Chain A
Amino acid sequence: MLLPFYWVFKTAVSNENIYAYPPRLLPESPHLFNFVDVWYFIPFPRYLLNSLIVSALVVVCNLAFNAMAAYALSKSFPGRRAVLLLFLSCMLIPFQATIIPAYLITSKLGLLNSYLGLALPLLSTIVCIFVFKAAFEAVPQSLIDAARIDGLANRHIILRVLMPLSKAAIATNIVLAFIWSWNAFLWPLIITRDPNMQTLPLGLARFLSYLEDTTGALYAFAAMVLAPSIFVFLMAQKEFIRGLTSGATKG
């Protein structure tokens, strides 16, 4: 299972002709020039900046929108079942099945080649709404009532009572939203034609089509792009798995 990781890392630090046969199992005179190459050879900082902006936008909006929706759903109101059903049926529609109209809609909104357009379809996630909903419902009602008696407004109940008690749900939201936006490829591929707006996955794909697989720099690039998600995963493995399986165990 780990072999692919080793192979890409080995190629990334190799100096020799990577097409030589037989390939060496250990890199000969390992060095980091390939990584430096990536930084200067392609607009890596630009891709990185774009990726970071889009991911930050997605993470922040997910936290706000999902928590708000979850709070609303944890109350009873007429039409609640209909809204729940709508959310659940939306879960069954893969984003890839919407690309043509989604492109046309985004183009009508004038958001092609923009950060907002890149982030928009990802700004709220149904799975994460349910993660928040479960966390909010686990908070004892007496606590909320006590806060209400003390005269706290709804927004303060969310910010000062519910959110501090839902740290795990917050972590899950952050991790999932980050990973999904960081890795997104098809959507940015469709709506960004301007190289200045492209994100890291697009940069990687462009690099591949320019150079084919001929240079160690490509693999250095791949390793650099993989590093953040591996890091996030190792830091927050528990939250990540909980988020994915909470959708799993409850349907």
Chain B
Amino acid sequence: MRAAGEAVGTLVEPGQGWWQRKRTRDLALVAAFLLPSLTLFVLYRLLPLGWNVLLSLQYWSPLKPARWAGLDHYQEMLLADEVFWQSLQNTLVFIGASPFAIALALGIALLVNSDLKGAAAYRSIIFLSYPLMTVAVGIIWRWMYDERGGIINFALRESGLIAKPIPFLQSFEWALPSVIVAEVWQVLGFYMIIILTGLQSIPQHLYEAAAIDGAPRWAQFWRITLPMLKPSLFLCAVLGILNSFTSFDLVYIMTNGGPGHATELLITYIYKSGFGQTKFDYAAALTVVQFILLLALTYLANRLAGGNAGSLEQR
């Protein structure tokens, strides 16, 4: 098709230099069209990545000349900073909860993928929480967890499970699980939609063949559904890992890292060090550590999913 178009072009405008000129014009156009997006991504993704590393190796604060710090910030972080270890642990717990959320989402996806009446409506309802403003979601859940006005304490007391109200977000042992529940509530629908898309791309004839061979339902699930879902599940896992970054809004609103540092995540600690105490250099070092953690966990998830589940290069 393309060749035909160019042939016609040649008829209209013959000559040696024509092809050359058109080529440069095309290139200029491509460059001009890519420029805005490319500039933005370099400015707000790639450049910050390198700058973070550079900052983390310097003593730097606004209005003061930078001095080389070597690995001092990392040394301080790893050896002397208890809050860092606490927030690292919390971040890992946060990420560790995502396999359970994904399993739950898988169960729901299997349910709403069937021909049950109202499955479509139920799907929308579960997904509804995902596009909501996280700040508002945090406020709602704060209120649900409230000691006196909250419905959760009310339900638990009425059903006789507890005698005294639990101050969920103010207690050291309950605060982190409570925030995680709210976070799972918000992202569950997204996991479900991803898994659902995966489910619907499994060819139906595989199940028919298995049924003819007399494979029971659980074997079909184990041998067909789960292996075919690997890419979707991998994607959910990556999102679960990324959520440890993006849950800043929720934690900031619900507990602001408290009580103490019981719900401090690395990202909230980065924010506090950088913009609360203006230790930009130290915050940059924290960011580098969290980014390495993110890459390592993503690599691990990819290995678990069988190597090329992300298949980024195939696009």
Size class of the contact patch on chain B: 35 or more
Q: Known: A4-B185, A72-B33, A124-B40. Contact between A244 and B193, CB under 8 A?
A: yes
Say whether chain B's binding surface is mostly helix, strand, loop, or mixed: helix
Residue A161 interfacial (CB < 8 Å): no
Residue A69 interfacial (CB < 8 Å): yes
The answer to whether B36 and A65 touch across the interface, beta carbons within 8 angstroms, is yes
Residues of A within 8 A of B139 (CB): 8, 204, 208, 213, 218-219, 222
Q: Known: A93-B49, A105-B48, A126-B41. Contact between A204 and B125, CB under 8 A?
A: no
Residue A84 interfacial (CB < 8 Å): yes
What's the least CB distance linking A193 to chain B, in Å?
10
Residues of A within 8 A of B126 (CB): 1
- Report Cα–Cα, A107/B270, bound state, in Å: 19
The answer to whether A102 and B312 touch across the interface, beta carbons within 8 angstroms, is no
Residue B267 interfacial (CB < 8 Å): yes
Residues of B within 8 A of A225 (CB): 133, 135-136
The answer to whether A93 and B45 touch across the interface, beta carbons within 8 angstroms, is yes
Residue B242 interfacial (CB < 8 Å): yes
Find the A residue at minimum CB distance from B158: A22
The answer to whether A69 and B33 touch across the interface, beta carbons within 8 angstroms, is yes
The answer to whether A229 and B197 touch across the interface, beta carbons within 8 angstroms, is no
Q: Known: A1-B129, A18-B149, A229-B131. Contact between A87 and B41, CB under 8 A?
A: yes
The answer to whether B193 and A69 touch across the interface, beta carbons within 8 angstroms, is no
* Residue in B34, B47, B275, B294 whose beta carbon sits within 8 Å of that of A101 in the complex: B47
Which residues 208-251 of A sit at the B interface, judged by CB distance below 8 A? 208, 213, 218-219, 222, 225-226, 229-230, 232-234, 237, 240-241, 244-245, 248-251
Residues of A within 8 A of B148 (CB): 19-21, 23
Which residues 1-24 of B sit at the A interface, judged by CB distance below 8 A? 1-2, 4-5, 8-9
* Residue in A18, A97, A120, A154 whose beta carbon sits within 8 Å of that of B29 in the complex: A154
The answer to whether B315 and A84 touch across the interface, beta carbons within 8 angstroms, is yes
What's the least CB distance linking A172 to chain B, in Å?
13
Which stretch, B71-79, B90-98, B217-225, B279-287, touches the partner chain A? B279-287
Residue A138 interfacial (CB < 8 Å): no
Find the B residue at minimum CB distance from A22: B154
Residues of A within 8 A of B185 (CB): 1, 4
Residues of B within 8 A of A5 (CB): 128, 140
Which stretch, A32-40, A162-170, A181-189, touches the partner chain B? A181-189
Find the B residue at minimum CB distance from A105: B43
Residue A96 interfacial (CB < 8 Å): yes
Residue B168 interfacial (CB < 8 Å): no
What's the least CB distance linking B269 to chain A, in Å?
12
Instruction: Give residues in A with beta carbon < 8 Å to B.
Output: 1-5, 7-8, 11, 18-23, 61, 64-66, 68-69, 71-73, 75, 77-78, 83-88, 90, 92-105, 120-121, 123-124, 126, 129-130, 141-142, 145, 148-149, 154, 179, 182-183, 185-186, 189-190, 200-201, 204-205, 208, 213, 218-219, 222, 225-226, 229-230, 232-234, 237, 240-241, 244-245, 248-251
Pairs A-B, 4 closest by C-beta atoms: A98-B48, A101-B48, A145-B5, A101-B51
Q: List 27 A-B contacts (CB under 8 A).
A: A1-B129, A3-B151, A4-B129, A11-B143, A18-B149, A21-B148, A21-B154, A23-B150, A23-B151, A65-B36, A68-B34, A77-B26, A90-B45, A96-B245, A100-B48, A100-B51, A100-B274, A100-B287, A186-B271, A213-B142, A213-B149, A219-B143, A225-B136, A226-B133, A240-B131, A241-B193, A245-B194
12 A-B pairs besides A1-B126, A2-B125 with CB distance below 8 A are A3-B144, A3-B151, A4-B129, A8-B143, A11-B143, A69-B34, A72-B31, A77-B26, A98-B52, A142-B1, A248-B197, A249-B197
